[in-house]
Structure 1
Amino acid sequence: MNAEQKAKIAANRKLALERLKKRGILNKSQQNSIEKRFEPVKPPITNTTVANSNTYKNQEQYIPTTTVPATQSIQSRDATTISPTKTNKIRPSVREKDYIEYNFATINNLNGGYINPQDKVYNEGDPDYYGGDDSHNDKKLKTIQDWKNEQRERRMLYENAPPPEHSSVAIKCIQCHINIEMDPVLDDIFKLKVCKTCAKEHPEKYSLLTKTECKEDYFLTDPELNDIELFHRLEKPNPHSGTFARMQLFVRCEIETYAYKKWGGEEGLDNEWKRREEGKLKRKEKKYNDKIKEMRIKTRAQEYTNRLRDKKYGKTHIHNFSDPIPNGKDEDGFTILKRRCIGCGLETEEVSL
């Protein structure tokens, strides 16, 4: 509201108060309480206001008053005491959070939780650079241009690198000792000087294994495979789903070397495989025997229950019916035959077609 609207509202309030006075509806206490509402609220006196007032001692007469910090609130159970920082406003009886669970006006768009602008650390060349901590500047926060520059540098290093001055000086493949062009993945990640031709011809050494294959074929544990100092690894997005954990690939020669050292060579690894297979068979056989034993116990319990029932109520009765006796005709004109059990006296009726 502007100043004119506020002045109109104040004038209307005064006219309404005068009308109420003329009619004699209000008491003096009510008139005083209403008039106090129209008075402007004075700001609380703080240490800063007292300090500023000291500069004007020579111009005006200074009256010392008690200083009350602005942040200090008066804690009291008396409802009449009011904090100096609060005005005489009526608190709403309905809270917003009781009826509004998600206020979309205050929610920030984080793009499904994958991109948070507050976590981004801008480069110095960007106009919005604020000089944040570089410890958060990982691959997830890189721009597309930074990624393209890194890929270009990587191609220059491993694919388009200039040849050496002489072939005798160049590093050769450890498998064939001829080629000088190394496989970029094995050279960069696994630190193996192997050419692409040898990597394809010797998959028993340089093929890549998943984490599951390492655990099933070489009987390695998760703590061993998660140790960065033991194995080099190549991480890729999970082919099953993008929300799953990233796939980790290990080179076979490193895994075999560690597994042979752990289990005592190739024979020790084979013995461990036999031991585990025998354990699987024993567990299956034990589970089968436990099921058979449980079934036998249930059968014996059912037989024992039948014996108790026969002992209490007698054995199962078998009816011995007499010859049929004619017992009139039904609505359709067919003859009704009557039979009776000689032992218990149960009677049945049959229709002779």
Structure 2
Amino acid sequence: MADQNQTTSNTEGGFCPEAEIPSYSTLSPEIKKRIEENRLKAKDIQLERRLQNGSNKTSQVSTSTEQTEQQNTNSSNNTNANNQEEKLRPMKKFQNYVDYDFSKMINTRGGFLLEDQDENSKKRKIREIDPEDPPIDPHHSDTPRCKECNTVEIDYQFHRTFRVDICKACKEKFPEKFSLLTKTEAKEDYLLNDAELKDEELLPHWSKPNPHKSTWNDMMLYLREQEFSFKKWGGAEGLDKEFERRQNEKKKRKDKKFKSKLADLRKRTRTDELEKNRYKEHKHEFGVAVEDPETGISTQT
């Protein structure tokens, strides 16, 4: 009995060793009563706080109620949808089967679909008439005609750009006259500078987007028949002489540069040899002594 009282007093005083913590069932009725009273007091305090914040709490309760109802509704909808998906789920052997509606598909020609083989394929390849091309009147005297074959079906791109009347057939027939040159080819073959190539009054050119890279400058095309280079250098012979002169100057500059590098290499090689022999031990070998008969002094080198 004394031991039981001692245990009770230690528990009431707040001191309870870890090894002797009793369970709720082993507590005395007085301790259980105190625990129950403390629990009821805590509930009363919580209820008073709720009453003080009644309006806010009511709105929060209504909002939470609506959210709960919405969640219940969504969960019920998801459940119904899952049930429908389970009912509509295909069989295992047909899971990899895809049904395409070919009536709604558009052939963008980006894949491996074959082109349509129809009777109108030749018509699609016919060149469309440029809206800027003037109407052709073969009976009118002012109608431009090809300078080679006198046909009225000229290339109006050449007519507008280079002011040359030529048809497509004659362009392919005479490439030495009507072929196009790039800016680099015109500069190297006909010895023209940038200022002359950019002057459209002297040399009309056709500007096209660069086919190698879209961000580069436009490609400038020149007609081979243009005679500005011959006027500048005095014909084909003058052009050939100027080309030979530039080639000779280029060769001289190249030889001069080579000789300069060779001399520099020899200089550096000789300097390295002198630096290498500077710290070597030198042993001088003296020759035979020669005596001067007049003075009697002998010298030896």
**What TM-score range do you get, normalising by the shorter chain?**
0.3 to 0.5
The TM-score with structure 2 as length reference comes to: 0.48
Higher helix share: 2
The TM-score with structure 1 as length reference comes to: 0.41
Structure number, greater radius of gyration: 2
Higher relative contact order (CA 8 A, sep 6+): 2
